[in-house]
Structure 1
Amino acid sequence: PCWACMIIQDMFAAATDTTYTTMEWTMAELINHPRVMQKLQDEIRAAVNGAGHVTEDHLGTLRYLRAVIRETLRLHAPLPLLLPRETLEDTELLGYRVPARTRVVINAWAIGRDPATWERAEEFVPERFVDDPAEYGAGHDDFRAVPFGAGRRGCPGVGFAVPSMELALAGLLYHFDWEPPLAAGGAASKLDLSELFGISVRLKTALHVVAKPWSP
């Protein structure tokens, strides 16, 4: 096999695809929740404060942006089924016997929407993460949502993916005001957030929005 081709394929499937899918879900949720978008834009524009553009130096102060992305990852894990694992020895989990060499598939999509764990589990509520000290990453001990996996087999690209998403989204939200397209009769339409299942979970319909340039 062509190992270089396989590595490039992994980069596109595990990095590029999941990153832009998460950004698309974030913008779709913000369009459908204009109060959240306005609050986030106010935070970003106050942090930039006349600098002209968003830089990595601003990201550390954007707490609400991190909360918005974490909430998006909770509701819309880019890989709904994490890469399969295999047990090394016989074990028992929640009363079930799991033999050694059993292939285990983790449903990250269901974990993030578990009503036993999350209040208003199906709703987009970034405020739940504003004062939450946990990080995005795969190395933490918070298993309520695992979009990057967890433990030693967690996603190694989290340290690159997260700043990339934060910087791109902050730039889009700083420079533009965003609105849904107008429906018949001139009323603003609500975006359809139906999911299209695959290796990654995407919007079923294409994301069409209206961007209006903004300047301080």
Structure 2
Amino acid sequence: MLEMILTIVLTLALILVVLLCTNKRNQSLPPSPRALPIIGHIHLVGKKLPHEYLFQLAKQHGGLMYLQLGRIKTLVASTPAAAEEVLKTHDREFASRPANSAAKYFGYEATDLVWAPYGDHWRHLRKICTLEFFITKRVQMFQPVRKLEMSMLITELVEACSQRRPVDLTSRFFQFAFNTMSRMVLNKSISDASGSESEKLKEFLNNLNEASKVGNGLQIGDLIPCLSWADPKVFRIKWLQTQLVNYLGEQLQEHKKTRESHHEVKDFMDVLIAGGVLDDTRIKALTSDMLAAGTDAIAVTMDWALAELMRNPELMQEVKQELEEIVGSNGTVEEEHIPKLEFLQAIVKETLRLHPPAPLLAPHESVESCNIWGYNIPAGTGLLVNAYALGRDESTWSEANKFNPKRFLETKSDVQVTGQNFELIPFGSGRRMCPALNMGLTMVHYALATMLHTFEWSLPDGKDEVNMKAYFGIVLIREEPLMLVPRLAKSCP
């Protein structure tokens, strides 16, 4: 009997100690939803649209929230104040990336710009990209490339116009963005390639698109390592990455042979080869970054913007009127017009606010411990910044769920997307901010302005609205392709 009493007392004492230690530990971390044994909060982010669910959780637990995703400690920043704290005040502490499946496969063992851990290698890669690809001079130099690809797209749409048939604009936007980036990176394009080269480029684009879908979020093995063998998506990711690597390897060898005979620098891959400081793996990694990130972000922004305008015909007419005044009814949109197209720029900002290409920005990881708002955050803690939540924060944005670009001409005229206004950071902020911001916005503004100025758009017969449901991948795309019927703005042959 005494033995049983002692056992019960010791058990209760142990439980009390565990509870006290757990409570003490939890007091040093930000608020957290109730977790499940072993998996922690994995079930909360395994939703169809995790950014939306995390946004709702943040309303209960605050702008800085703690999650335990299997073995991974994670902070989620969901308000402008929280985002500013982690990406500005503690920018250096959170400047690294986690070592996960995306870094291993799509990041070429974390040797690329996107997934490389914070350090000298990453700084070297960023310097190369900034000086050789993203500077204003280089962006301007590729203006003829953007104009050529847009003219080819317009020619294709004019043919559809004459036939009065619906066009899958989602796929056209992806191909336009890919062709433009591919010309700049590889000096190749689906639009003028022929034979086997055209098929290889199309296959490469299809693999990029599939990778964007299957590579969303963390894989099972990232969260619970002992179950990595059970994740079927990893096998598909490996296969896709092998196809992408093989094609870029072919292009690299072709570029090297061409340079041996001509010594010309025509594209970004030539620049990297001529530099002589990066090995083949890192050259393929950087060119892959340019092609994937550039294609996805540009295409989905154009797609969401035109979808929103189809739902708001009065805004469509206003932007077309602006184009009429600035460009002229018989004029052609040029990139020089963009600074004068203030309402068009406001439409793009509003699109990025409601539909950021990556609603959960690329994950960060802390390189050392820090204290945020009295909470002790240990080194090795992951960070997710919910750009979707920042753009719909009701304390910051009036009528936060309404598509209202005029706010950027009135009450929010000083808000930019350059990473300094934390209520709107679709491209991130701080050290790991997207370096291609200028190039991406130039392409989106130019392409969208041309599409709106050249054509009138209508829904196919029998369709009375645009489906705005989203699919969560590496970027946020709409569930259904945007099918619209084009008609020349002046007259249709």
Give the letter for the 1:78 counterpart: P
Where does 1:123-138 land on structure 2 (aligned, <5 Å)?
Answer: 123-131=402-410, 132-138=413-419
Give the letter for the 1:12 counterpart: L
Give the letter for the 1:197 counterpart: F
Q: Following TM superposition, by how much is the alpha carbon of 1:122 offset from its aligned partner in structure 2, in angstroms?
A: 1.2
* Residue in structure 2 matched with residue 12 of structure 1 by the alignment: 291
Q: Which has the larger radius of gyration?
A: 2
DSSP-derived class of the 1:74 partner: helix
Where does 1:62-211 land on structure 2 (aligned, <5 Å)?
Answer: 62-131=341-410, 132-138=413-419, 140=420, 142-183=421-462, 189-211=464-486
Query: Which 10-residue stretch deviates more, 111-120 or 167-176?
Result: 111-120
DSSP-derived class of the 1:209 partner: strand
Residue 302 of structure 2 corresponds to residue 27 of structure 1: no
Hey, what's the Cα distance between the residues in 1 that align with 2:485 and 2:409?
Answer: 28
Q: 1:106-156, CA deviations, whole angstroms, 9 ceiling, x for partnerless residues? A: 111121112232111111111111141232223x2x100210101222111
Change (3 A) 1:97 1:47: same
Structure 1: runs of 5+ lacking an equivalent: none
* Residue in structure 1 matched with residue 490 of structure 2 by the alignment: 215
Match of 2:335 among 34, 50, 56: 56
Change (3 A) 1:4 1:89: closer
Hey, what's the Cα distance between the residues in 2 that align with 1:158 and 1:214?
Answer: 31
DSSP-derived class of the 1:105 partner: strand
DSSP-derived class of the 2:340 partner: coil
Hey, what's the Cα distance between the residues in 1 that align with 2:443 and 2:348?
Answer: 12
Q: Following TM superposition, by how much is the alpha carbon of 1:36 offset from its aligned partner in structure 2, in angstroms?
A: 0.7
Hey, what's the Cα distance between the residues in 2 that align with 1:169 and 1:158?
Answer: 16
Hey, what's the Cα distance between the residues in 1 that align with 2:322 and 2:369?
Answer: 50
Hey, what's the Cα distance between the residues in 1 that align with 2:350 and 2:300?
Answer: 14
CA RMSD of aligned residues (A): 1.7
TM-score (norm 1): 0.90
TM-score (norm 2): 0.41
Hey, what's the Cα distance between the residues in 1 that align with 2:329 and 2:305?
Answer: 25
DSSP-derived class of the 2:466 partner: coil
Structure 2: runs of 5+ lacking an equivalent: 1-107, 109-280
DSSP-derived class of the 2:452 partner: helix
Change (3 A) 1:31 1:25: same
Give the letter for the 1:144 counterpart: E
Structure 1 or 2: more helix by fraction: 2
Across the two proteins, how many residue pairs are aligned to each other?
210
Match of 2:317 among 38, 45, 60: 38
Query: Which 10-residue stretch deviates more, 202-211 or 10-19?
Result: 10-19
Query: Which 10-residue stretch deviates more, 16-25 or 80-89?
Result: 80-89
Q: Following TM superposition, by how much is the alpha carbon of 1:95 offset from its aligned partner in structure 2, in angstroms?
A: 4.4
